[in-house]
Amino acid sequence: MARERIISPSEQSEDIEIPTNNVEVYQSIRPSTLDQYLGQAELRERLSVALEAAKERNDPMEHVLLYGPPGLGKTTLAHVIANELGTRAWVTSGPALTKGSDLVGTLTRMEPNDVLFIDEIHRLPAAVEEYIYPAMEDFKIDFTLDSGMHARVVTYALQPFTLIGATTRAGLLTAALRSRFGIVHNIRFYECEELTAILKQATLKLHMETIDDESLHCIASRSRGTPRIALRLLRRVRDFSQVRCENVISPSIVDQALKLEGIDAVGLDALDRTYLETLAGIYEGGPVGVEAIAATMGEDAGTLQDVVEPYLLQVGFLARTRQGRKITSSGLNQVKSPKDS
Which residues of the chain does CATH 1.10.8.60 include? 192-260
The residue type found at 183 is I
How would CATH label the architecture of 270-336? Orthogonal Bundle (1.10)
Closest CA to 63 of 135, 154, 158: 135
pLDDT at 66: 93
The average pLDDT across 313-332 equals: 90
Position 12 confidence tier, pLDDT thresholds 50, 70, 90: low
Report the C-alpha gap between 50 and 31 in whole angstroms. 19
pTM comes to 0.81
DSSP letter string over 160-191? -EEEEEEES-GGGS-HHHHTT-SEEEEPPPPP
The CATH code for residues 192-260 is: 1.10.8.60
pLDDT at 225: 87
| Terminal alpha carbon distance of the chain | 31
The average pLDDT across 280-288 equals: 88
Instruction: Quote the DSSP letter at residue 142.
Output: E
Per the prediction, the chain carries an average pLDDT of: 85
Contact 34, 333 (CB under 8 A): no
Q: What does each C-alpha distance from 254 to 86, 115, 138 come to in angstroms? A: 39, 39, 53
What's the pLDDT tens digit per position in 14-34?
555 444 444 444 445 788 899
Options 3.30.465.10, 3.40.50.11810, 3.40.50.300, 3.40.50.1820; CATH for 40-186 is 3.40.50.300
The stretches of the chain forming alpha helices (DSSP H) are 13-16, 23-27, 41-57, 74-85, 100-107, 126-138, 175-178, 192-205, 213-220, 227-244, 251-260, 270-277, 290-297, 301-303, 309-314, 329-336
* Burial per residue of 51-75, b for 16 or more beta-carbon CB atoms within 10 angstroms, e otherwise: beebeeeeebbbbbbbbbbbbbbbb
Contact 180, 63 (CB under 8 A): yes
pLDDT at 206: 81
- Does 119 qualify as catalytic in the annotation? yes
Position 269 confidence tier, pLDDT thresholds 50, 70, 90: confident
Q: 3-state DSSP call for residue 148?
A: helix
Q: Which of 74, 200, 222, 236 is catalytic?
A: 74
What's the pLDDT tens digit per position in 68-115?
888 888 889 999 999 999 999 999 999 998 887 788 888 888 999 999
Q: Which of 75, 167, 278, 328 is catalytic?
A: 75
- Does 74 qualify as catalytic in the annotation? yes
Q: Which of 228, 232, 238, 325 is catalytic?
A: 228
The residue type found at 5 is R
Q: Which of 87, 167, 168, 196 is catalytic?
A: 168
The average pLDDT across 120-127 equals: 90
Report the C-alpha gap between 147 and 170 in whole angstroms. 35
Contact 129, 145 (CB under 8 A): no
Closest CA to 225 of 193, 251, 253: 193
Q: Which of 114, 119, 264, 272 is catalytic?
A: 119
Report the C-alpha gap between 296 and 25 in whole angstroms. 45
- Tell me whether residue 249 is exposed, middle or buried, using C-beta atoms within 10 angstroms of its C-beta: 0 to 12, 13 to 18, 19 or more: buried
Residue 287, preceding peptide bond in cis (omega within 30° of 0): yes
Contact 115, 89 (CB under 8 A): yes
Question: Beta strands 161-167 and 64-67: pairing type?
Answer: parallel
Report the C-alpha gap between 250 and 215 in whole angstroms. 5
pLDDT at 25: 44
Which residues of the chain does CATH 1.10.10.10 include? 270-336
What's the pLDDT tens digit per position in 202-243?
888 887 877 888 999 999 999 988 999 999 999 899 989 888
* pLDDT exceeds 80 at position 63: yes
- Does 75 qualify as catalytic in the annotation? yes
Report the C-alpha gap between 218 and 189 in whole angstroms. 17
Which residues of the chain does CATH 3.40.50.300 include? 40-186
Q: 3-state DSSP call for residue 136?
A: helix
